[in-house]
Chain A
Amino acid sequence: MTVQEIANALALEVAAGAAQLGRDVTGGYASDLLSCVMAGAQAGNAWVTLQAHLNVVAVAALLDLACVIITEGAHPDSDSIARANEEGVPILLTEESTFTVVGKLHQLGVRGSE
């Protein structure tokens, strides 16, 4: 399932990284603690978090994640968006909670990496 397909299915707003929406999603990870993501997320995963700051983009790029889904209506600032476009990291936005988004991803067949 590609990032674009997930964005369509969950009605997510594409805030950055539009050129990389065709990428395949290998699984998912949800956490708002960056070190946990560093340890647990796998390359190609979709990361679900309510954190919207610059370091989220840095982590996503370092781990080669497929996309970041930012929940609870949080909005990345223009620096973060610029960095995300530079690094090629799709940033998708939603008003819904992390819990709801993860549930929907699970229904679509996206699984955790453990």
Chain B
Amino acid sequence: MSSAGNQVTRVQELVYELKIEQVMTKNVITVTPDCTIRDLKELMRVKRLSGVPVVVQGDLIGIVSLENLIEALEHGELSSTVGEKMTTQVQALRSDDTVVHAVNLFARFGYGRFPVVNEEGKLVGILTKGDIVRGLLRQMEVQWHAEEIHRYRASHIFEDIESDQTGLILRYAVEGQNLEHGGEAASKIKRALERLGAHPRVVRRVAVGAYEAETNIIIHSVGGEIIAEVRPDRLKVTAIDNGPGIADIEQAIEPGFSTAPDWIRELGFGAGMGLTNIKACADEMKLESQVGVGTRLEMFFKLQ
């Protein structure tokens, strides 16, 4: 997983999380309907505006754009009022909506900015595409600092204990052929990593990898163990079982190939994607097996 890829997904997530009120410009320059075109022209020139919301006692009643202004100037209507030239059908955004609504409106309409109103219809801000970009960048910077705090907390446990190398080993017994405890080891590993302060993205990948490995032990073997070894720089998750073993490993790794029995498939397992998912989540995967003895799966995750 490249960090550039991470950034792009984070931006996509933020677009759905951030509220418009968190990114909009709050000091809005407005005009009243009785403002003249002459005064509007000066205002837009000096303040470099491309559009101005028209308000009456805080209520948004229209918007006057550069286009409206140019049209008025072409006809020499310097003394006309904003009220006569403005557009009353205003596309406005709600301050409590998420940024994705703004993105959709920008895509649908060709306008450069949208006024933002609160639930009572009062103008509370204005939003341009530039505001969205600035807001996203600011939020990502905040999160980058939070990331640093996470890493600091995770490494702390290893700093306080003196040794040539410190590691944490978590072991979980997995019962074979019993789905009632399915996912429990993965869930505990996930919680342990969260408490150690690991980054949420790594936690998710480890959780998925551990879950698939655990499920494989349950479905295909007589039972085994999951071992998570945490070191400051990396995590190793090993899934060991006591048989029956895999005859053809190349075949087992193939996406879509599964030896799961019917009753397992009816529950939604057996898609044949377990090892594929593990390979996609882990930074490195090693799989060894001996028929009649057992299987050993190792997954490596970088933590920094």
Contact = CB atoms under 8 A, between A and B. Distances in A.
A joins B in a complex: yes
Contacts of B62: none
A19 interface: no
Q: Which 5 A-B pairs have the closest CB atoms?
A: A58-B183, A35-B273, A33-B271, A35-B271, A55-B182
A35 B187 contact: no
A78 B13 CA distance: 34
B100 to A, nearest CB: 9
A61 B180 contact: no
B190 A62 contact: yes
B4 interface: no
Contacts of A38: 208, 211-212, 273, 277
Interface of B: 13, 16-17, 179-180, 182-184, 186-187, 190, 204, 207-208, 211-212, 215, 267-269, 271-274, 276-277, 280
A58 B207 CA distance: 11
B179 A55 contact: yes
Given A26-B17, A53-B267, 15 more contacts: A33-B268, A35-B272, A38-B208, A38-B211, A38-B212, A38-B277, A39-B208, A43-B204, A51-B267, A54-B182, A55-B182, A55-B183, A58-B182, A58-B211, A62-B183
Given A38-B208, A62-B207, A49 B268 contact: yes
A41 to B, nearest CB: 10
B268 A58 contact: no
A79 B207 CA distance: 22
**Chain A: interface residue count, which band?**
20 to 34
A108 interface: no
A62 B281 CA distance: 14
A21 to B, nearest CB: 19
Nearest to A49: B268
Contacts of B274: 35
B92 to A, nearest CB: 18
A11 interface: no
Contacts of B184: 58
20 contacts: A26-B13, A27-B16, A33-B271, A33-B273, A34-B268, A34-B269, A34-B271, A35-B272, A35-B273, A36-B273, A38-B212, A49-B268, A55-B179, A55-B267, A58-B182, A58-B184, A58-B186, A58-B211, A62-B183, A63-B204
A32 B268 contact: yes
Contacts of B211: 38, 58-59, 62
Contacts of B13: 26
Nearest to B180: A54
B276 to A, nearest CB: 8
Interface in A34-77: 34-36, 38-39, 43, 49, 51, 53-56, 58-59, 61-64
Nearest to A87: B187
Contacts of B212: 35, 38
A34 B204 CA distance: 15
A62 B16 CA distance: 21
Among A35, A55, A61: residue with most chain B CB under 10 A = A35
A26 B179 CA distance: 29
A61 B182 CA distance: 12
Among B182, B274, B280: residue with most chain A CB under 10 A = B182
